[in-house]
Structure 1
Amino acid sequence: MTITRRQILTGATALAATAAFQPAFAARKTVIKLGLDLASDHPTTVNLNAAAAKMKDATKGEVTLQVFPSSQLGNDTHMLSNLRSGAMQMMAIGDNILATLVPSAAIDNIGFAFKSPEMAWGALDGKVGEMVRADIDKAGLHAMPRIWDEGFRQITSSTKQILTPEDLHGFKIRVPPSPISLALFQALGAAATTINIAELYTALQTHVVDGQENPLGNIETQKFYQVQKYCSITNHMWVGYWLLMNGQFWASLPEAHKKVVSDTFDAQALQQRKDNQKLDSSLEAKLKGQGLEFATPDTTPFQKALTQSGFYKTWKDKFGAPLWAALESVTGQLA
């Protein structure tokens, strides 16, 4: 069968007419699955869901952020492995746990370094954060510019109040799978062991460990008050939450989507910090009502014990002079 020039032109005209009523190019859809170990009602999770709604609105549905709290996608160690391999697109992770892969991420976990959350945020929004993010990039991951707030960590126990460094000697305490957390409590003489938070409640309930340390927000949302009796307000370590994306996945995103994702997370970080601190300041009274007994020990002896054990010198050498100097430019001399 012979196709004439007229037929070709007629067909082309029909196709053009049809195309006029169809999108010239289907919009790129970006789906981001984000896992974290915190409960669904924690301020971090709530603000991640708020960020998801804003991204969807800003891109008219082109960017979908799906948030999976309470270790639904695995514990932190498992999620970090999947993030690196590309099996996951994104996760929120405490800097103390991230330090198993990026050692410099633990710089803001130095014992008793910060006097306030605002001091910690200033360090991480400034030179300290810039240096840590550069190291995160080298590990094949991409960090959102602003760190989120997990807060100061406090010590709880089922057996006794922790008032002095001597009270920690031989005390069975859980710490997260974090080298600096383990080192800090070992330096204070505790029998510290690492357990992922998904298994912590059961470990406390069965007395695998007698105590743990976490921000008040985690103590409340994870219901640790049900299996602990005492809480010491030590503020021994500040922990931030990095929002991390697989580096190759980030690089593959359209520039417009990158901007919306980064800008939205950064704006939401400011709200999350406020919400987390608001929760933290309200929780002592609430937890007292739930049976937890509070004490506020003098932390000077704890700091002195860390100095005498060589904790500060060891970690200064590990982090290196430039990063340590950036930290002390905010905190003042630590040891």
Structure 2
Amino acid sequence: MEKRHMFGKFLLAASTVLSLGSAPAMAAPKVMKYAHFQPAREDQPMHAAALKFKACMEQATSGSVTVQIFPAGQLGSATNALEGLKFGTVEMVVSHDGGISSVYRPFDVFAIPYLFPDHATAYKVLDGKFGKDFADEMLKQTGIRLLAYADNGIRHFTNSKHPIKTPADLKGLKIRVQPAPVFLTMIEALGGSASAIDWGELPAALSQGTVDGQENSVTNIMAGSLYQSQKYATLDGHVYSLHAYLVSDTFYQSLTDTEKKAIDDCVIPARDIHRDMTRAQDLSAQKVLTGVGMEVYVPTAAEIEQFRSAAQPTVVSQLKKSAGEKWVDGLLQAVKEAKGQ
């Protein structure tokens, strides 16, 4: 009896070991490499939003998806990061408009100068039917899923030579622009000499005098410390610049329904933080830039109309060829409807 009892214990122990050995291992978390292009500081809209997205995503998926944030262009230029989205080496990118247009040219349509009169009008258009239709077409053409639009700030001119009050003051100035043809066209239409320089190279180009000035939002002027080599700022608000939250559709389709919903849901509070922080800086641009020693000029309505008349028709004409009449006319109509015209 004792031998049979011992043998029974042996069989029980052996079956327990075999059972444990054959138990399925817990699945490793899915990793989202999340790239953006501002410093890794919580006072920077892109990074504050990235931290919010990471916390929300990991909580909503109970850790089945982890988010690794790569700030300040650590994964390369915007063009490189966006190519990574297309080929599946990067899962998520928050990029500026110039970078996006390098992989999807119609995004240039948002660079029509003097388009949106205020933030509220822009949000109505971007969050409405036009913004959704545009994102749907981008997905079809590129395999990149545009989840949300956020602010890159209202763009203004700065330079190291003299105040810019009218288009005539741009004549003879070398102005850095994003690597996008539409910005080159705008500067040339206003009488300046445009030079396309990547964001990462901009501070050096300004300090070394490669270019005299640039055009950017107050958020980016501060993030890049551009005020250190730029004495004059003109708050003309020529372009309502955008960031967009972009995800590889290949990665998105590999997720469970719960994980997909988490991405769709978590991008909204991240976008709102991004918008709120950037908008606050836009609305206090004169105070912020004066505070770091810049001489700030605010054009009159009549002067703004001079800029609009010089730049908008030429840019619209070019965009109808490069971005397509459908998107140009559709955006202009969406703006009119949002303004109640």
Residue type of the alignment partner of 2:311: L
Asked if 1:43 is matched to 2:48, the reply is no
Deviating more after overlay: 290-299 vs 144-153: 144-153
User: In structure 2, do the counterparts of structure 1 residues 307 and 92 end up closer, same or farther at CA, with 3 Å as the change threshold?
Assistant: closer
Asked if 1:100 is matched to 2:102, the reply is yes
Q: CA deviation at 1:256?
A: 1.5
1:145 matched to which residue of 2?
A: 147
Q: CA deviation at 1:114?
A: 0.6
Q: CA deviation at 1:106?
A: 1.8
SS at match of 2:90: coil
User: In structure 2, do the counterparts of structure 1 residues 227 and 318 end up closer, same or farther at CA, with 3 Å as the change threshold?
Assistant: same
Deviating more after overlay: 89-98 vs 255-264: 89-98
Cα distance between partner residues in 2 of 1:303 and 1:217: 23
Cα distance between partner residues in 1 of 2:249 and 2:200: 26
Choose from 53, 66, 69 the match for 1:67: 69
SS at match of 1:244: strand
| Contact 2:149-2:243 at 8 Å conserved across structures | yes
Cα distance between partner residues in 1 of 2:261 and 2:17: 36
Q: CA deviation at 1:163?
A: 1.0
| Contact 1:152-1:237 at 8 Å conserved across structures | yes
SS at match of 1:256: helix
| Contact 2:171-2:193 at 8 Å conserved across structures | yes
Cα distance between partner residues in 1 of 2:253 and 2:132: 19
| Contact 2:147-2:246 at 8 Å conserved across structures | no
Identity %: 29
Residue type of the alignment partner of 1:302: F
2:33 matched to which residue of 1?
A: 33
Cα distance between partner residues in 1 of 2:330 and 2:312: 20
SS at match of 1:234: strand
2:323 matched to which residue of 1?
A: 319
For structure 2, which runs of at least 5 residues remain unmatched after alignment? Answer: 1-7
1:265 matched to which residue of 2?
A: 267
| Contact 2:34-2:92 at 8 Å conserved across structures | yes
Q: CA deviation at 1:265?
A: 0.6
SS at match of 2:68: strand
Residue type of the alignment partner of 1:61: G
SS at match of 1:108: helix
Cα distance between partner residues in 1 of 2:23 and 2:244: 38
| Contact 1:96-1:179 at 8 Å conserved across structures | no
Per-residue CA deviation, residues 141-184 of structure 1 (Å, 9 max, x unaligned), is 33343211112101100111111111112310100111211221
SS at match of 2:67: strand
Choose from 60, 71, 85 the match for 1:58: 60
Cα distance between partner residues in 2 of 1:284 and 1:104: 32
Asked if 1:302 is matched to 2:307, the reply is yes
Aligned Cα root-mean-square deviation (Å):
2.5
Cα distance between partner residues in 2 of 1:317 and 1:195: 24
Q: CA deviation at 1:26?
A: 1.8
Per-residue CA deviation, residues 243-284 of structure 1 (Å, 9 max, x unaligned), is 112221222122211111121012321232112211332343
Per-residue CA deviation, residues 41-80 of structure 1 (Å, 9 max, x unaligned), is 3112111111111212222222211222211211212222
For structure 1, which runs of at least 5 residues remain unmatched after alignment? Answer: 1-5
Choose from 126, 129, 140 the match for 1:127: 129
1:3 matched to which residue of 2?
A: none
Deviating more after overlay: 123-132 vs 136-145: 136-145
Residue type of the alignment partner of 1:305: A
Asked if 1:91 is matched to 2:93, the reply is yes
Cα distance between partner residues in 2 of 1:290 and 1:320: 41
Count residues in correspondence: 325
| Contact 1:152-1:236 at 8 Å conserved across structures | yes
Q: CA deviation at 1:191?
A: 0.9
Asked if 1:155 is matched to 2:157, the reply is yes
